[in-house]
């Protein structure tokens, strides 16, 4: 029995649909390659999967094939429009190129290069242009210097204010330290005065301090009285000489 006709419709089973896609995609790419080789044809094939993945085949390069396709699909009216747009772009490019060359030539003239082909009038115009540019540059320089001086003056005033604040703070701290030192000194003096008054109020201590103890070392100089007993005096003298203190 022969194979029955397969009804073309979307495969509902996701796995079967993916398997069928892989098999038929590979077969289609193979057929496109065989067609390009066997028949010397320019073949371009583009495939997007359901997930958005790209598969492509081009026997002569995809960009070249797409450009050829666009040229073949244009109508004569569209072709004429494209030609006019192309000519317009060419003219625009030519204008921009000429302007670019003119700007380069003017730049060289301003730098003092390639002045030989210029006439006297052109040189005079160039001189006026340079003088005008020099005047503007000097004005701009003067303006910038004035702005910098103003900025420096502002910084100077700010630093002067900070210096005054620090000076006032230092003076206040110095006065506080001086008053504190004077208060400590006054407390010391009052304490010393109180202590002196307390000593003056107790005379016994002063008398005791005035009465210094005496210590005599050596023999006593004994002088006998007139009319006294000389023998007794000699004995007492001998008795006293027996000890030192």
Contacts of 33 (CB under 8 A, 6+ apart): 43, 57, 59
DSSP category for residue 244: -
Cα distance between residue 91 and residue 167, in whole Å = 76
12-73, CATH topology level: SRF-like (3.40.1810)
From first to last of its 245 residues, what are the pLDDT tens digits of the chain?
A: 556 676 788 888 889 999 999 999 999 999 999 999 999 899 999 999 888 889 999 998 888 888 888 877 766 666 667 677 888 888 888 889 989 988 888 888 888 887 888 888 888 888 888 898 889 999 999 999 999 999 999 999 999 999 999 988 888 888 878 778 777 877 777 777 777 766 665 554 444 444 455 555 554 454 455 554 544 554 455 444 444 44
pLDDT at 48: 92
Cα distance between residue 158 and residue 151, in whole Å = 11
Residue 62, burial from CB neighbour count under 10 angstroms (0-12, 13-18, 19+) = middle
pTM assigned to the model: 0.34
Cα distance between residue 219 and residue 221, in whole Å = 6
**CA 109-110-112 angle, 5° bins:** 65
């Amino acid at each position: 029995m022969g194979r029955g006709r397969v009804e073309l419709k979307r495969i509902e089973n996701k796995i079967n649909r993916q398997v069928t896609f892989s098999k038929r995609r590979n077969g289609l790419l193979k057929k496109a390659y065989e067609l390009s080789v066997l028949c010397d044809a320019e073949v371009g094939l583009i495939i997007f999967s359901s997930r958005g993945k790209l598969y492509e085949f081009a026997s002569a390069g995809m960009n070249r094939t797409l450009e050829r396709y666009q040229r073949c699909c244009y109508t004569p009216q569209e072709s004429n429009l494209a030609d006019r747009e192309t000519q317009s772009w060419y003219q625009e490019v030519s204008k921009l190129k000429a302007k670019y060359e003119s700007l380069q030539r003017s730049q060289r003239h301003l730098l003092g290069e390639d002045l030989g082909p210029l006439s006297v009038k052109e040189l005079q115009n160039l001189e006026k242009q340079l003088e005008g540019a020099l005047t503007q540059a000097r004005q701009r320089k003067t303006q910038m210097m004035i702005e910098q001086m103003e900025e420096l003056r502002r910084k100077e005033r700010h630093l002067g204010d900070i210096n005054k604040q620090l000076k006032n703070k230092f003076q206040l701290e110095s006065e506080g330290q001086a008053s504190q030192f004077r208060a400590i000194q006054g407390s010391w003096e009052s304490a010393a005065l109180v202590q002196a008054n307390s000593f003056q109020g107790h005379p016994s201590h002063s008398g005791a301090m005035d009465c210094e103890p005496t210590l005599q070392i050596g023999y006593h100089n004994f002088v006998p009285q007139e009319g006294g007993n000389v023998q007794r005096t000699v004995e007492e003298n001998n008795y006293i000489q027996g000890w030192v203190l």
